[in-house]
Chain A
Amino acid sequence: MLDVSRVQKELAECNKDKAISGVSINLHRGDDLSHLEGTISGPVGTPYEGGTFRIDVRLPSGYPFEPPKMQFVTKVWHPNISSQNGAICLDILKDQWSPALTLKTALLSLQALLSAPEPDDPQDAVVAQQYLRNHPTFVATAQYWTEAFAKRTSVGIEEKVQKLVEMGFPEALVKSTLDSVNGDENMALEKLCSS
């Protein structure tokens, strides 16, 4: 059984100082406490600076005695994060998890991972190779991905909603569809038309 009271306390605690910590956590949808969404801001002085990264958080029923499952929703170019599906390679999300850690500490660890990649223990071999062998290209690619994926969703989302609503789709559906395709206007349109 999920420890509901702990999760609620965690949410309140984490969002208290989100402006300082740069991490926040919210319910994904509705009042399901086992499915959350975290955000972390890209650390200053890294190719991820200025981006806001969304992380899908699922809590197993054994939480906090079992680790939360976390995955990047925002595409990110990083040796320890899959460029395909956002899977994360981080020890505290696996065997090094401790019940005394919290969602906030886990998100802060992810933030730390963004500023200090560990290419020797990679999740994405292609990115790790590039990081080690052609660092300037790595930095450029990571910056480009941050620009393209981690900033777009926050900027101009209203305009996109507006545009699609004008095409005749209901606003609620437009929002959820845009959400599911990570803010990609064309993909959202495709999805809306096919549904």
Chain B
Amino acid sequence: MDDDYYYSQSSNDEDAGDDDDDDGYDDLFDDPPCDEDSSTNSFEYTVITEKSLLTMQMEDLQKIIEFLSLSESSARILLIHNRWDVTRILELFDRKGKEQLFLEAGLVLDDNNNNNNNNDSSFSALSQITCNVCFDDFSKDEFSIMSCGHYYCNNCWTEHFIVKINNGASRRISCITPKCNAICDEAIVRKLVAKKCPDVVCRFDRFLLESYVEDNNKVKWCPSTPHCGNAICVEDDHPCCEVECSCGLLFCFNCLSEAHSPCSCKMWELWSQKCKDESENINWIMVNTKPCPKCRKNVVKNGGCNHVRCICGQCFCWLCGNATGVGHTYDTIDGHSCGRYDDDKIKHIERAKRDLYRYTHYHNRYESHAKSLKEEINLYETIEELINDSKSEDTHFKSFRWALDGLNQLKRARGVLSYSYPFAFYMFGRELFIDDMRPEESLMKKNLFEDQQQQLECQVENLSMHLGKTFHLLSDKELSETSQHVTNLSSIVNRLCKEMYKCIENDLLLPFRKNHSIAPYMSNALRKKR
């Protein structure tokens, strides 16, 4: 079953490799060997492809068919009405009883069949019957009687079905009789419509099939464009989680936009709108380039560390744009520190300007990390090549598995870091929580958060530096050392990410959990799919 991907994602899973995909990558994408605590939640989800959609649906149908001994049609009516929640149906059955459960869904109880039989007998006693829709008389074999006991001529039923199907109401075609809530039996619909418009039957069947996605709280279409045809099914109703479709798209299951944790969906919505508004035209330059502090030319960073040298020779810090000396390491610049956002410094600037400046500050850092991430993803190719070239008898550092583990960790942490800036923008800004936190409280929390953010930033850059080395130029000793650095830094970065999430979840967002829940941090890097 190549179509049926099954992912298990949890911080303390030994191996999530119950993936049926047999391309040999599975082993490569093992979790990094870390994790002492399992404070982060775990969740599971399944990718549903066009083919497995039917299988998944049949499983749920079968459960209801068996439990309540119903026909497939009735089971489907019940499931569609209850949003494909089998547990809920069983619970309602216990609490409200069969009668109420069926009535609400528009199903006619078997017991009522006696009444129908009465109807039926009066119905069968007649030889010529007038249809109450077209007012024409027909012999009774040109009539169909629905489970609710109402009967109309076949032509009128057919017309009614076709109009409903074309209006997109396939999933709940109710009886013609006004105020009768009974849902028409799908077999009768199929039989009658097939005689007149076979193509409409196809549409009807497709609508019923897709109901499993459309009318189901646990399943959503993958938002990829062009659409990959897949849907994602989560195991439980998670308020917020991030999932990866087998087409490669990583997205937030709650708001269907790109994965954005630790931003809440609300924050992300505001942020992406803001970026769209502000980055147009002239603002694009403002947020994507930095003027050189000496010659004022706009400079674009094309890779490497945050110590940038303009073509005029002037060095400056990419994060704050201020001139610096030449001496620097990958993560620090001699005599320079600018990661903290200093409110005092710009008190004299008028408010609008300050807001733009503030936005630019956060946006630049968000963008820089997003761009670094893009560059770093290119490293996958190199590392995978190295792994493929390595032999099984190679020592650990030559197998390059450490590099892949490290890169997975880097990718995850870089994402977290990038999205932590829009998070901070709203967490400590005036947009969302201005009335909920006193300024001193907000400042204190900001310092706490930024301290963790900077530690993480520093180690992420370090990890990036080691992984960016040209491995084949290194001696065995250097390679061995690098592998140790990468492994150590990976676990440090993982720990720092966790701590930052702990800070966000426990110290910052706890009072606002209801409206600002975030997808938990997954320490095992999300696997890259081809």
Question: Which residues of A are at the interface with B, using a C-beta cutoff of 8 A?
Answer: 3, 5-6, 9-10, 62, 64-66, 92, 96, 98-101
Query: CB-CB < 8 A to A100: which residues of B?
Result: 132-133, 152, 176-178
Query: CB-CB < 8 A to B163: which residues of A?
Result: 62, 65-66
Q: Give bound CA distance, A99 to B163, whole Å.
A: 11
Q: Give bound CA distance, A138 to B135, whole Å.
A: 42
Question: Is the contact region of chain B dominated by helix, strand, or loop, or is it mixed?
Answer: loop
- Pair A64/B136 contact, Cβ less than 8 Å: no
Question: Which residues of B are at the interface with A, using a C-beta cutoff of 8 A?
Answer: 132-136, 152, 156, 159-160, 162-163, 176-178
- Pair B135/A99 contact, Cβ less than 8 Å: no
Shortest Cβ distance from B167 into A: residue:
A66
Q: Given A98-B176, A100-B178, is A65 in contact with B134 using a C-beta cutoff of 8 Å? A: no
Additional pairs, 7, CB under 8 Å, beyond known A6-B133, A99-B156, A100-B176: A3-B134, A5-B134, A5-B136, A6-B134, A62-B163, A98-B177, A100-B133
CB distance from A117 to the nearest CB of B (A): 21
Query: CB-CB < 8 A to A62: which residues of B?
Result: 159, 163
Q: Give bound CA distance, A98 to B152, whole Å.
A: 13
Q: Give bound CA distance, A96 to B160, whole Å.
A: 13
Q: Given A98-B176, A98-B177, is A65 in contact with B135 using a C-beta cutoff of 8 Å? A: no
Query: CB-CB < 8 A to A65: which residues of B?
Result: 156, 159-160, 162-163
Query: CB-CB < 8 A to A99: which residues of B?
Result: 133, 156, 159-160, 176
Question: Is the contact region of chain A dominated by helix, strand, or loop, or is it mixed?
Answer: loop
Query: CB-CB < 8 A to B136: which residues of A?
Result: 5
Shortest Cβ distance from B178 into A: residue:
A98
CB distance from B202 to the nearest CB of A (A): 20
Q: Ordered nearest first, which 10 A-B pairs have the shortest CB separation?
A: A98-B178, A65-B163, A99-B133, A9-B135, A65-B159, A100-B176, A99-B176, A6-B134, A100-B132, A65-B160
Query: CB-CB < 8 A to B162: which residues of A?
Result: 65
Query: CB-CB < 8 A to B134: which residues of A?
Result: 3, 5-6
Which of A64, A66, A92, A96 is close to B133, meaning CB atoms less than 8 Å apart?
A: A64
Shortest Cβ distance from B169 into A: residue:
A95
- Pair B135/A6 contact, Cβ less than 8 Å: yes
Shortest Cβ distance from B163 into A: residue:
A65
CB distance from A102 to the nearest CB of B (A): 9
Query: CB-CB < 8 A to B178: which residues of A?
Result: 92, 96, 98, 100-101
- Pair B135/A5 contact, Cβ less than 8 Å: yes
Query: Which of A9, A96, A98 gathers the greatest number of chain B CB atoms within 10 Å?
Result: A98
Query: CB-CB < 8 A to B159: which residues of A?
Result: 62, 65, 99
Q: Give bound CA distance, A66 to B159, whole Å.
A: 10
Query: CB-CB < 8 A to A92: which residues of B?
Result: 178
Query: CB-CB < 8 A to A98: which residues of B?
Result: 176-178
Shortest Cβ distance from A105 into B: residue:
B178
CB distance from A25 to the nearest CB of B (A): 15
Shortest Cβ distance from B159 into A: residue:
A65
Query: CB-CB < 8 A to A5: which residues of B?
Result: 134-136
Q: Give bound CA distance, A96 to B177, whole Å.
A: 11
Shortest Cβ distance from B132 into A: residue:
A100
Shortest Cβ distance from A9 into B: residue:
B135
Query: CB-CB < 8 A to A6: which residues of B?
Result: 133-135
Q: Give bound CA distance, A99 to B135, whole Å.
A: 11
Shortest Cβ distance from B166 into A: residue:
A62
CB distance from B180 to the nearest CB of A (A): 8
CB distance from B149 to the nearest CB of A (A): 14
Query: Which of B133, B156, B176 gathers the greatest number of chain A CB atoms within 10 Å?
Result: B133
Query: CB-CB < 8 A to A66: which residues of B?
Result: 163
Q: Give bound CA distance, A100 to B153, whole Å.
A: 12
Query: CB-CB < 8 A to B160: which residues of A?
Result: 65, 99
Query: CB-CB < 8 A to A9: which residues of B?
Result: 135
Q: Give bound CA distance, A6 to B133, whole Å.
A: 8
Q: What are 8 A-B residue pairs whose CB atoms fall within 8 Å in the complex? A: A5-B136, A62-B159, A65-B159, A65-B160, A92-B178, A98-B178, A99-B159, A100-B152
Shortest Cβ distance from B135 into A: residue:
A9
Query: Which of B132, B159, B177 gathers the greatest number of chain A CB atoms within 10 Å?
Result: B159
Q: Give bound CA distance, A180 to B215, whole Å.
A: 48
Q: Give bound CA distance, A66 to B156, whole Å.
A: 12
Q: Give bound CA distance, A190 to B160, whole Å.
A: 47
Q: Give bound CA distance, A98 to B133, whole Å.
A: 9
Shortest Cβ distance from B161 into A: residue:
A65
Query: CB-CB < 8 A to A3: which residues of B?
Result: 134
Q: Give bound CA distance, A66 to B162, whole Å.
A: 11
CB distance from B253 to the nearest CB of A (A): 31
Q: Give bound CA distance, A100 to B179, whole Å.
A: 11
CB distance from A160 to the nearest CB of B (A): 40
Query: CB-CB < 8 A to B176: which residues of A?
Result: 98-100
Q: Give bound CA distance, A99 to B177, whole Å.
A: 8
Q: Give bound CA distance, A152 to B98, whole Å.
A: 59
Query: CB-CB < 8 A to B133: which residues of A?
Result: 6, 64, 99-100
CB distance from A36 to the nearest CB of B (A): 17
Shortest Cβ distance from A92 into B: residue:
B178
Query: CB-CB < 8 A to B152: which residues of A?
Result: 100
Q: Give bound CA distance, A100 to B157, whole Å.
A: 11
Shortest Cβ distance from A101 into B: residue:
B178
CB distance from B215 to the nearest CB of A (A): 18
Shortest Cβ distance from A98 into B: residue:
B178
CB distance from B200 to the nearest CB of A (A): 13
Query: CB-CB < 8 A to A101: which residues of B?
Result: 178
CB distance from B129 to the nearest CB of A (A): 14
Shortest Cβ distance from A66 into B: residue:
B163
